[in-house]
Amino acid sequence: MNEQISRPVVRLRPKAEARAIRHGFPWVYADELVTDRRTSNLAPGAIATLEDAERRPLATVTVNTASKIIARVLDRDPGAEITQAWLTARLAHAQALRERLFDAPFYRLVHAEADGLPGVIIDRFGDTAVIQPNAAWAEAHIEALAAALAEVTGVTTIVKNGSGRARGLEGLAEEMVVLKGAVAGPIEVPMNGALYMADVMGGQKTGLFYDQRPNHAFAARLARGARVLDVFSHVGGFALACLAGGAESALAVDASAAALGLATQGAEAMGAGARFATRQGDAFATLEALAAEGAQFDLVICDPPAFAPAKSALQAGLRAYERIARLAAPLVAPGGYLGLCSCSHAADLAQFRAASARGIGKAGRRGQLLHTGYAGPDHPMLPQLAESGYLKSLVFRLD
C-alpha cells in the first residue's frame, strides 16, 4: 500500500506560505495548519503527509499539536517512510561530514534541522554518544534512533538526555536514561590541545559545549603569555584552551562548583594545574568584586547562557549583554582583549554587537573589533532557519 495513503494527511491553511516549505523552511506553525478534529487527535510525534491548501503533497512531516511548531519537515519526499533504515541513512550522512572535519570522534554529530533530524541533538564523546530528543517524534522513535546510532558509529554507550527548555515546549517530560552500555564517570575530551572533562549524566546540556571550538582556538592565539579571565567558564571552555595556547595563568569563574571541579580536573590532566585557578559565584557580582580588587587581565572572555532565549526576553537580554561588557571592560589591561559571546536565538548579530559596544563605551573604553566568530562546522546552519545559527562571538582589542 502507498505510504502516502496509509498514513494521516495534514493540510496548510489557504493563507499559509507553501512556497517556504518548498524552498526548504522546516517548520509549520500552529496558525498555519488546519487543525480539525482528526488532526487534533493525532498522537504527539505522529508521521503525516503535509499538503498545501490545494491538496498537493508537499512533504513528510511529524505533527505535535501541543507545540507552537505544529509540524516539522522530516523529508521533502511526501511518500518517505520514516524507518530505522531512514534514520541510519541520515546519521551516516552526518557522520561522513564529521569524519572529514575531525581526526578524533569528539564532536556534535547531529545538529537538529540542519542535519535533517529536526529537534534532535547528538554529541559524540569517543565511544559514548548523548542524544537530546527535543521533539516528540524523536521521543517516540528513540529506540530506533539509538539502534541506528550504534550501527553507524559503533559507540558502546548511548545516553538519552531528556532535559531542557525545548522539551517543555514540546510537552515532553524530563528524563535521563542510559539506553546502551554504562557511564562510569566524566569522560576526557581532547579539543584544541586542551583536555576537558565531560559529565554526560549530570552536566549542562550534553556535558560539554563543542560549538565554541573555533572561538576557543582564536582566543588561544591571543593568550600566549597572557593573564586570562574566563567568566561563565562551565568546565573550563576558554580557560583551558588558553592554557594549552601558552597563557601565563587562567582564572575560571562560574556559579557551579561541580563545573569548576571538572575544569580543575581538566587543567590537572593536561599538566596546567599550577597555572589555573577558579572562583565560584555570580558572574556579575564577581566582575564587580574583581574590579574593586583592582584586578587586571590581558584577555577577558565572557560566555554567558542565553540571556534572550525568546523574543519576549530580547530587550532584557540585550541590557544584560551590555552590562556584562560594561563590567568586564575595566578588567582588561591597556592593549588587552575582550571576548564577548551570545548563544541567544532572539538576539541577532547586529543587536548583540551594538549592545556589546554600548557596554564597552559606558565603561570608558574604546575598542577595535578584531574577530566575529560563529559555531564550528559540526554545528551547520540551515540557511532557511535563522535559529540554527545562534552563536555569536566578538573579540575586541581595548585601548
Per-residue pLDDT tens over the stretch 270-298: 999 999 999 999 999 999 999 999 999 99
The pLDDT score that the predictor gives to residue 203 is: 76
Domain range for 124 is: 84-180
- The reply to whether 150 and 199 lie within a common domain is no
> Domain end: 127, 155, 180, which one?
180
Question: What cell numbers appear for 290 in the block?
Answer: 574583581
Which CATH number is 32's domain given?
A: 2.30.130.10
- The reply to whether 212 and 342 lie within a common domain is yes
Is residue 73 within 8 Å of 50, Cβ to Cβ? Answer: yes
Nearest to 342 by CA among 387, 306, 309, 317: 306
Q: Give the CA distances from residue 104 to residues 194, 207, 215, 217, 241, in Å, rounded to whole numbers and listed in that order.
A: 14, 18, 19, 17, 17
Average of pLDDT values for 53-69? 96
Which CATH number is 213's domain given?
A: 3.40.50.150
Q: In what order do the strands lie in the sheet with 106-111?
A: 106-111, 120-125, 128-133, 157-162, 175-180
Judge whether residue 5 has pLDDT over 70.
Answer: no
Q: For the segment 225-261, what is each residue's pLDDT rounded down to a tens digit?
A: 999 999 999 999 999 999 999 999 999 999 999 999 9
- The reply to whether 127 and 198 lie within a common domain is no
Is residue 360 within 8 Å of 326, Cβ to Cβ? Answer: yes
The pLDDT score that the predictor gives to residue 389 is: 87
Nearest to 42 by CA among 112, 126, 120, 137: 137
176's CB contacts (< 8 A; 6+ apart) are: 159, 160, 161, 162, 163, 201
> Domain end: 149, 180, 211, which one?
180
Question: What cell numbers appear for 4 in the block?
Answer: 502516502
Q: For the segment 169-188, what is each residue's pLDDT rounded down to a tens digit?
A: 899 999 999 999 999 999 99
305's CB contacts (< 8 A; 6+ apart) are: 232, 343
Q: For the segment 183-229, what is each residue's pLDDT rounded down to a tens digit?
A: 999 999 999 999 999 999 987 889 999 999 999 999 999 999 999 99
- The reply to whether 354 and 213 lie within a common domain is yes
Judge whether residue 1 has pLDDT over 50.
Answer: no
Judge whether residue 266 has pLDDT over 80.
Answer: yes
- The reply to whether 158 and 198 lie within a common domain is no
Question: Catalytic annotation on 343?
Answer: yes
The pLDDT score that the predictor gives to residue 169 is: 86
Cα-trace Rg, the chain: 22
- The reply to whether 152 and 282 lie within a common domain is no
- The reply to whether 17 and 54 lie within a common domain is yes
Q: Determine the angle formed by the axes of helices 84-101 and 142-153, rounding to 10 degrees.
A: 40
Q: How confident is the model at residue 2 (pLDDT cuts 50, 70, 90)?
A: very low
- The reply to whether 257 and 110 lie within a common domain is no
Average of pLDDT values for 58-62? 97
- The reply to whether 214 and 104 lie within a common domain is no
The pLDDT score that the predictor gives to residue 388 is: 85
Is residue 185 within 8 Å of 176, Cβ to Cβ? Answer: no
- The reply to whether 323 and 265 lie within a common domain is yes
Q: For the segment 93-123, what is each residue's pLDDT rounded down to a tens digit?
A: 999 999 999 999 999 999 999 999 999 999 9
Judge whether residue 131 has pLDDT over 80.
Answer: yes
The pLDDT score that the predictor gives to residue 310 is: 87
Q: How confident is the model at residue 15 (pLDDT cuts 50, 70, 90)?
A: confident
> Domain end: 75, 100, 122, which one?
75
Number of domains in the chain: 3
The pLDDT score that the predictor gives to residue 232 is: 98
Q: For the segment 321-378, what is each residue's pLDDT rounded down to a tens digit?
A: 999 999 999 999 999 999 999 999 899 999 999 999 999 999 999 999 999 999 999 9
Judge whether residue 4 has pLDDT over 60.
Answer: no
Predicted TM-score (pTM) of this structure: 0.94
Q: Of 242, 302, 341, 343, which is the active-site residue? A: 343
- The reply to whether 135 and 232 lie within a common domain is no
